[in-house]
Structure 1
Amino acid sequence: MSVSMIVLGVPVLSRPLVLGLMICGLSLSSAHAGNDDAQTGWRPQFVQPVPQAKIKAAFPKTATTSGKALLGCVAAKDGRLVDCKVLKELPDGQGFGEAALSVVGYERIKTKDRAGASVEGRPVQTSFEFLAPGDANPDWIRKPTGQDIANVYPKVALEKRVGGRATIKCQVTVEGFLDACKVLFEEPEGMNFGAAGLQLAPQFRMSPMIRGGKATPGGEVTIPIIWSEPIGVSTLGSTPVVLDPPWTRVPSQAEVDAAWPKGAAGVQSGQAALRCVLTKTGQLRSCDVISEAPRGKGFGRAALDLSKLFQVNVDPNDRSVRDYKVDLPFRFRDPSLPDNRRLTKPRWVTTLTAEGMALIYPEAAIKAKVLSGRAAATCVVTAEGRLTNCEAARESPAGLDFGAAAIKAASTMRMNPWTKEGDTLDGLTVTVPFQFSFADDTPAEPVKPAQGGQP
């Protein structure tokens, strides 16, 4: 008998980084950063945006809300975009496509690609957003410093004295935190600049998107980051820095709420990041505040107090543990306001083995000769990353105890309880889908010979 299970999850991310003194830079880009031609992989380089005054003046007179439009154009020899057509507009019928066509003539791209070839005749997509009066998109409150960016310089790139760049794309929460970040582009490949860009995400802070006069989640930001080639560089030290170790204990949400600084009156949210030494017992010590926003409100001090509550399971005899530091991000929210935390991509630390799944495959399904089924369990996450108070959310086929099997499976699993963005998962609910399959490996009974000895 063999049983298999598929559970949706994301592996824990952990990787060494080295500090360096580099000249690095970043900026906020337009929506063009992820615009690759699907067939050639060519990425147009926009060098002249449409002036904001022109965008504002082109807002459709009949429109009642902010809107967007996507155009498909052809690159001209001089970098202009010509023969443009409206590919998509949102919302439809309010004139945003025509507005985009009226301003695209101000935009320019580089006339040659990175290989030096002319871009004339190549397809280009470009998008525009038109804001209604009173609306606003996310804007910078805090960006990592050059030193912050240098601190996450990829070790392999530093050793080879290679510069690089990466572009990450993130959602902006209602508090202005960056969330659900992903790598759009990195070069050169294999040097981990994309992962380094993701490591910087907790140190950004933006004003939230404003729609209809209210702060709204869902704003999107694309951030290109450049690491200049290290020339004549000496490192600050050889101690590797890791992000997102597999925590076995983190602060509960009640403990995070209790750490809200008294000096933060009138502030709705804040963030901080620490760099700590990982001890051989799996605890953190000698923590330094490497970023804090807003400054002077006590969020760095609150993070230092909470750092004592973190724990990692380590082998005390592993001498390499003494050579690691941990970068630890924190997000703080006014405890009197609604809890806006979200659990989107759990990072599983422990899942059930095939042997364990064999023990919980429903007997009712086996008796009914049903060899596969699906189910989901909805559970509450603890500060240790365990799943508790689980209930069956769905099962198929019904009535064969697949829901009960999902509850048993979920109760043995554990996820990393602290997010890469700086939130505890304590108290959040998660629905975990399972797919069960069963194979009867019992040998078939031999065919009995027919009467008379003939097969």
Structure 2
Amino acid sequence: MSRSLLLAMLTAGLFATALSTVALAQAEDDAPPSGWRPNFVTRVPQAKMKAAFPKGATVTGKAMLGCVADKGGRLVDCKVLREDPVGQGFGEAALSVVGYERIATKDAQGASVEGRPVRTTLEFLAPGDANPDWVRKPNGAEIANVFPKKALDRRVGGKATIRCKATVEGFLEACRVLSESPQGMDFGGAGLQLAPQFRMSPKIRGGRAVAGGEVTIPITWEEPRGAAPINTTSIVLDPPWSRVPTQAELAAAWPKAAAGEPFGQAALRCVLMKTGQLRSCDVISENPRGKGFGKAAQDLSKLFMVNIGPADAKTFKDYKIDLPFRFRDPAAPEARKLTKPRWIRTLSAEGMAEVYPQAAAKAGVASGLGAATCAVTATGELADCKPARETPAGLGFGAAAVEAVKLMRMNPWTREGDTVDGLTVTIPVQFTLDVKAQDEPAAPAGKPG
């Protein structure tokens, strides 16, 4: 396994005196069009939000206000920019409570924010509704255990803010880095490494758990202090797996002690051997505890394999892998979704040229779009592919897309801890014909020697 395939390697140095914190912020993007993002230091108290809920409203609603910051960080001259749903009083409700909010009086560069435009979005929850909230979050030691190597070497602390979607089960998915500081120290990557260890209560609307709730999570790593030894073994994130458990094997591993539980979570830290197998897997996260999910994950770890070539094995060093698992009751309806495939193998430009549809080339059409829908196997291969759509129609771009994706392969285990086995994916393929290459005359044949 070459170093280029070791994605986001982080040092697992743990300082006994390092303090780390994680919080939960509202997920709305309050940055105005200018791109300046205010730092809210005080939000409207929940009791005030509840009291301001419009009397005529029947559902959860929100309103976006456009305001101006005064020198004390208050929001003044506010106007309603948007409300949803319209006509139920959420704009007026937001205006009645926005006075409780405060932003930092200076920006990141130390300049006063007085007179700057500020947007704020206020959401009013209907009775019985709720937004995602903490069920489990990594503790200080777990956060410190992914302290980025660059930052450890320089003994500097840092911050990262990640934004994720909370699933119906309360898992986090589709996480991305919103910000990190200082830049170039990998604190954003460290935040993403922690994502599988979070659990949220689901978003509740109309008395039902629904997907789609977004959460913004600021995480702080304080400057390391003391002279505690540093563990320099690198942690590998999301390696290119060659084998992972199938969906049937995951279902068979559902713990008997978890009867009645809808789902569970576990995360392991394992040693990666030269053979590509895992050993010495320790449970670093389990929820709910005492239901057997950690033991089930350890049993399944024997089914994982990373493809390590002979050349890589010669220079192989000690690596550890953080391996997340999502467990779902096998008797429940399928709830997995493929949010963002991680491609290990794609088609080269030369290969794309070879499958360019001849009908389109003969018609002088230099570009087109085709899409193929495929089933994904436990190894990340694509099978049973069929044309899904094509533009322009009737020139073979759909069939060409099927040919193009046959050699593609995705990482079969997701960053969130799911197998892709049995899922379906629709892959759009953009085709462009190299007209210059088509027009160039063939090189003259050389004389035999």
- TM-score bracket for this pair, using the shorter chain length: over 0.9
Instruction: Tell me the equivalent position of 1:359.
Output: 354
Q: Are positions 1:436 and 2:431 aligned together?
A: yes
Residues 280 and 316, structure 1, Cα contact 8 Å, conserved in 2: no
User: Which of residues 264, 269, 273 in structure 1 aligns to 2:267?
Assistant: 273
Residue in structure 1 matched with residue 276 of structure 2 by the alignment: 282
Question: Map of 1:138-287 to 2, 5 A cutoff?
Answer: 138-287=132-281
Output the aligned Cα RMSD: 1.8
Contact 2:262 2:329 in 1 (8 A): yes
- Tell me the number of residue pairs that the alignment of Structure 1 and Structure 2 aligns: 433
Q: Which residue of 2 aligns with 1:371?
A: 366
| Greater RCO (Cα-Cα under 8 Å, separation 6 or more) | 1
CA shift, 1:396, in A, is 2.5
Give the whole-Å Cα distance in 2 for the aligned partners of 1:82 and 1:299: 51
> What per-residue deviation string (whole Å, max 9, x for no partner) do you get for residues 285-304 of structure 1?
11111100111111101111
Residue of structure 2 in register with 1:97 after alignment: 91
Percentage of pairs with the same residue: 67
- The answer as to 2:22 corresponding to 1:26 is yes
Tell me, what secondary structure is at the counterpart of 1:222?
A: strand
Structure 1 residues without counterparts, runs of 5 or longer: 1-10, 446-455
Q: Which residue of 1 aligns with 2:390?
A: 395
Contact map agreement 1:357 1:409 (CA 8 A) in 2 = yes
1:12, 1:244 within 8 Å by CA — same for their partners in 2? no
Conserved in 2, the CA contact under 8 Å of 1:380 and 1:429? yes
Cα deviation 1:393-412 (Å, max 9, x = unaligned)? 01233333222221111111
- Give distance in 1, aligned partners of 2:430 and 2:112: 51
Please give the secondary structure, in 2, of the residue aligned with 1:244.
coil
Change (3 A) 1:350 1:79: same
* 2:413 equivalent to 1:415: no
SS at match of 1:59: coil
Q: Residues 357 and 48 from structure 1, CA distance in 2 versus in 1: closer, same or farther, beyond 3 angstroms? A: closer
Is the Cα contact below 8 Å between 1:12 and 1:348 reproduced in 2?
A: no
Matching residue of 2:307: 313
What is the DSSP-based 3-state SS (H/G/I as helix, E as strand, rest coil) of the residue aligned with 1:226? strand
Residues 270 and 299 of structure 1 are in contact (CA less than 8 Å); yes or no, is this contact kept in structure 2?
yes
Distance 2:265 2:109 in 1: 42
- Separation in structure 1 between the aligned mates of residue 111 and residue 182 of structure 2, nearest angstrom: 20
- For residue 40 of structure 2, the aligned residue among 35, 42, 46 is 46
The aligned residue for residue 448 of structure 1 is none
CA drift at 1:93: 1.2
Q: Is the 8 A contact 2:6 2:236 kept in 1?
A: no
Change (3 A) 1:108 1:397: closer
Contact 2:357 2:400 in 1 (8 A): yes
Partner of 1:69: 63
Counterpart in the other structure of 1:449: none
What is the rounded CA distance, in whole Å, between the counterparts of 1:345 and 1:16 in structure 2? Answer: 20
Offset of residue 444 of structure 1: 5.9
Instruction: Indicate conservation of the 8 Å contact 1:281/1:316, yes or no.
Output: no
**Could you tell me how far 1:340 is from its partner in structure 2?**
1.3
Aligned residues of 2:27 and 2:163 also touching (Cα < 8 A)? no
Distance in 1 separating the partners of 2:110 and 2:356: 61
Counterpart Cα distance in 1 of 2:253 and 2:213: 28
Deviations 1:266-287 (A, max 9, x none): 1101100001111111111111
Distance 1:349 1:134, change over 3 A: same
Letter in 1 for 2:418: D
Give CA deviations for 1:345-366 in whole Å, capped at 9, x if unaligned.
Answer: 1111101122322332223333
Residue 331 (structure 2) pairs with residue 336 (structure 1) = yes
- Using the size of structure 1 for normalisation, the TM-score is 0.91
The SS at the match of 2:223 is coil
Contact residue 278 and residue 321 of structure 1 kept, 8 A: no
Structure 1 residues 135-144 or 357-366, which shifts more? 357-366
Give the SS at the match of 2:361. helix
Q: Which residue is equivalent to 1:83?
A: 77
